[in-house]
Amino acid sequence: MNAIRILFSLLIIRPLILIVIGISGRYRFRLPKKGPAIIVANHNSHLDTLVLMTLFPLTLTNRIRPVAAADYFLKNRFLAWFSLNIMHILPIQRNGAKKIDDLFANVHEALKNGDIVILYPEGSRGEPEKLQNYKTGIFHLGRGCPDVPIYPTFMHGLGKALPKGDFLLVPFNCNVVVGDPFYWNPQKKEFMNELNKRMTDLADEGDFPPWE
């Protein structure tokens, strides 16, 4: 399955993102060269994960683990197989977990194994090119792995290329700005404020045109 995953990335994901969409990346050198690590990013499109995967070398393909909602990505047999085996997601049950730590049990296990986890603190996809308030899930996740670096990453353009609710891909270029890593803070308010500031600073640094 590892070989199939790499071939899918090489033959499908990378041509789609690099040729059809196109990426303009800033500070890609800041991305982790190995795990464990957590990538946090804004969420506008189903293309978000594909773009983030493309930023890493093929040798890390099997170490990239997107966190995804089980109720959406495991809702039918084919989608579940594709999500688990090809996209290599870490499914979480957004409803039904009795304890917050149970929600991220498989994510903690992946980090212990040295994987690079992709997480969208906004939760579900939001309005095109508009940052939402970040939910505190990332804080609770970090409590179980305080020494794992967190890399804030801001993406712009995918809300135009394939926004929520659309199925027609439009080839708008995607801009990605990668921030310096930071670490979990036991003071929840301070941690969430820092996350918000880092993401806002990355968006401002990009000086991207407003959504039209």
Which residues face 38 on adjacent strands?
117, 150
Q: What is the percent of the chain with per-residue pLDDT over 90, rounded to a whole number?
A: 57
pLDDT at 88: 95
Q: Is the pLDDT of residue 171 over 80?
A: no
Each residue of 53-105: pLDDT tens digit?
Answer: 999 999 999 999 999 988 888 888 999 999 999 999 999 987 765 577 778 99
Question: pLDDT value at position 129?
Answer: 55
Please state, in angstroms and rounded to a whole number, the distance separating the CA atoms of residues 189 and 185: 9
pLDDT at 179: 96
Query: Could you tell me the pTM of the whole model?
Result: 0.90
Distance between alpha carbon 194 and the CA centroid of its chain, in Å?
Answer: 18
Q: What is the DSSP letter of 182?
A: B
Residues 136-160, mean pLDDT to the nearest whole number: 91
Retrieve residue 23's tokens: 């990426």
Question: Domains in the chain, ordered, with CATH?
Answer: 2-206 (3.40.1130.10)
- Encoding tokens for residue 124? 């579900």
